[in-house]
């Protein structure tokens, strides 16, 4: 890479998952922010702050962050964040690639979706405004969903409790599928028991670049090195060799 290329600003937009906070990306951001001229932002989703916001408002917030980011920009979502970026990045010309972490793409769904299943989920809590969140103890239990986190992540989760989110995150229509128009990489945990075999098969039908990573659903905590590598590779930074076990 010559000096001229090295001075070009490039961008990354990181979108947190359901019940999360922007700081969940801290481990990925540390690797990214070592690079010069790389602008990294992690928007805070409105559905986790307002009782009236849902998927579409989340997509609007992320779309604004994308619009303010230099070209080329890589847009990354984790879990529910993937649903958001699939709408937000629609027709955004500065986006070079989408990276889906721990979730396959959503198909177009023009009608309001049924979110009644949320009420029957195990370990689900509800607040007085009808919002939902998984019990904080679930996140810290090593017996749930194969969840095994490093000690520093467990300490982080204790200091950053999961937040309630609105049911509109689940019921809003899906009016766009940016993954069908923008180069997309899907990273799925090989041991992720929250992603069904049907969903994995659909991802491989829909997207050419689907990679199985040796981890569970919580890839952004357990394998931030893999996520950072994919982002830097796309932006033509001198990314280190592919991490072991990826």
Answer whether residue 244 shows pLDDT above 70.
no
Q: Are 96 and 235 in contact (CB under 8 A)?
A: yes
Residue 55 sits at φ, ψ, to 5 deg, of: -60, -40
CA dihedral (142, 147, 150, 155) positive or negative: negative
Predicted confidence at residue 7, as pLDDT, reads 67
CATH class for the region spanning 3-112+172-234: alpha beta
Predicted confidence at residue 144, as pLDDT, reads 61
Over residues 199-228, the pLDDT tens digits come to: 999 999 999 999 999 999 999 999 999 999
- Which residue has 């590598």 as its token pair? 229
What's the CA gap between 31 and 155, in Å, rounded?
Answer: 20
The model's confidence at residue 243, banded by pLDDT at 50, 70 and 90, is: low
Predicted confidence at residue 239, as pLDDT, reads 58
What's the CA gap between 23 and 73, in Å, rounded?
Answer: 20
Strand pairing partners for 124?
Answer: 134
Mean pLDDT across the stretch 171-177? 98
The model's confidence at residue 1, banded by pLDDT at 50, 70 and 90, is: very low
Over residues 134-156, the pLDDT tens digits come to: 988 888 876 665 567 898 999 99
How are the residues of the chain apportioned to helix, strand and coil, as percentages rounded to the nearest 5? 35, 15, 45
Share of the chain above pLDDT 90, in %: 78
Fill in the DSSP letter of residue 99.
E
H-run or E-run covering 213 = strand 209-213
Q: Which residue did the predictor score with more confidence, 69 or 34?
A: 69
């Amino acid at each position: 890479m010559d000096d001229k290329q090295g001075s070009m600003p490039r961008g990354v937009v990181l979108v947190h998952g359901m019940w999360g906070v922007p700081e969940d990306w801290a481990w990925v951001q540390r690797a990214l922010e070592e690079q010069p001229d790389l602008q990294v932002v992690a928007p805070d989703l409105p559905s986790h702050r307002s009782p009236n916001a849902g998927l579409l408002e989340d997509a609007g917030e992320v779309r604004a962050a994308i619009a303010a980011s230099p070209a080329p920009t890589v847009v990354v979502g984790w879990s529910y964040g993937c649903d958001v970026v699939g709408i937000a990045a629609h027709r955004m010309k500065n986006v070079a690639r989408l990276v889906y972490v721990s979730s396959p793409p959503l198909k177009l769904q023009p009608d309001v979706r049924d979110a009644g299943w949320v009420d029957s989920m195990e370990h689900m809590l509800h607040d007085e405004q009808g919002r939902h969140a998984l019990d904080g103890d679930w996140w810290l239990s090593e017996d749930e969903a194969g969840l095994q986190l490093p000690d520093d992540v467990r300490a982080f989760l204790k200091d950053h409790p999961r937040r309630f989110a609105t049911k509109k995150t689940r019921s809003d229509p899906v009016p766009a599928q940016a993954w069908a128009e923008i180069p997309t990489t899907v990273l799925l945990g090989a041991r992720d028991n929250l992603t069904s075999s049907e969903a994995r098969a659909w991802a491989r039908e829909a997207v050419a670049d689907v990679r199985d990573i040796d981890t569970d659903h919580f890839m952004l905590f357990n394998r931030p090195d893999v996520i950072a590598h994919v982002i830097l590779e796309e932006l033509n930074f001198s990314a280190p060799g592919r991490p072991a076990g990826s």
